[in-house]
Amino acid sequence: MVLVTGGAGFIGSHLCRRLIEAGHEVLCVDNFFTGERANVEGLFGNTRFELIRHDVTFPLYVEVDEIYNLACPASPVHYQFDPVQTTKVSVHGAINLLGLAKRVKARILQASTSEVYGDPGVHPQPESYWGHVNPIGPRACYDEGKRCAETLFFDYHRQHALPIKVARIFNTYGPYMRPDDGRVVSNFIVQALRGEPITLYGDGQQTRSFCYVSDLVEGLVRLMESPPEVTGPINLGNPVEFTMRELAELVLQITGSKSAMVFRPLPQDDPRQRQPDIRLAKATLDWAPTVPLEEGLKPTIAYFDALLAGRLTAV
């Protein structure tokens, strides 16, 4: 049995489907703060799939063999809505799930984030870089919460010989993103489809590297299945870098939208550059992303088009 916390979320729902397709029994746990039942309702008739509504800041008593901990709001709009709870999910959630893993002797994977690097002073970012994070800023509830979760994972590994895996996930996109999550890909697509102005911050020259969700899930599964000595942290993301303006132009091109671009002040502590160094993932997991941004945007745009028009069916 594989436990996926945050399993009804964007990445979690894709991971649940991938694990079911591979023949696993999957226990999906979500409190539905940002996750949606609709994301996994296509699995409800499968006898190898279970769904539990639960908040990981409280202990969970189940019998499982592997744990993927994806429980945490990942977009600034949602993690800044209740910053104290965001920190609790990362820290208390990690403690509870590590305790569960220790009790049932399960292998456990932490979905960490590129945000542990903050506004980086090193580019691209290797796993050896310790980061440049504002510990008291509006993003700290997420950034520092994830950094503390990594600390807990490695302390459990050293103190209790717990088999751990830590993945640092860079910007991921694809179907089942929320239209209101505030992340740049979903923002641009929804604005373009609605004919609203495309909102860029600063001068639009800050960069991100976008990884399609199927590539990311493949990396997570390979990390979980890797030998015990492979603990991570390991960067998982697409190293091809785009400016925000380039992304906006590509979305406009694919959607055929006539939306104009408007510019707003850059939010506090917003990273200027974000690009993963994935040499470790290539060497250790034989993993690298295969889906170019333009190809990944097409099904993502089709998903949002169907969602906004009310034409979605369960997958």
Q: Are 289 and 238 in contact (CB under 8 A)?
A: yes
Q: Are 231 and 166 in contact (CB under 8 A)?
A: yes
Which residue(s) pair with 173 in the sheet? 212
Q: How far, in whole angstroms, is CA 55 from its chain's centroid?
A: 18
Residue 9: exposure state from Cβ atoms within 10 A (0-12, 13-18, ≥19): buried
Q: Where are the alpha helices (DSSP H) in the chain?
A: 10-21, 76-79, 83-104, 140-160, 184-194, 213-224, 244-255, 279-285, 293-309
Which residue(s) pair with 207 in the sheet? 243
Task: Kindly name the residue from 142, 176, 212, 303 that is annotated as catalytic.
Answer: 142
Q: For residue 165, what are its two tokens?
A: 């895996």
Q: Are 80 and 43 in contact (CB under 8 A)?
A: no
SS3 labels along 259-303: CCEEEECCCCCCCCCCCECCHHHHHHHCCCCCCCHHHHHHHHHHH
142 assigned to active site: yes
Which residue(s) pair with 235 in the sheet? 168
Distance CA 185, CA 188 (A): 5
Distance CA 252, CA 17 (A): 30
Distance CA 177, CA 251 (A): 16
Q: For residue 139, what are its two tokens?
A: 């993003």
Please give the positions annotated as active site.
Answer: 142
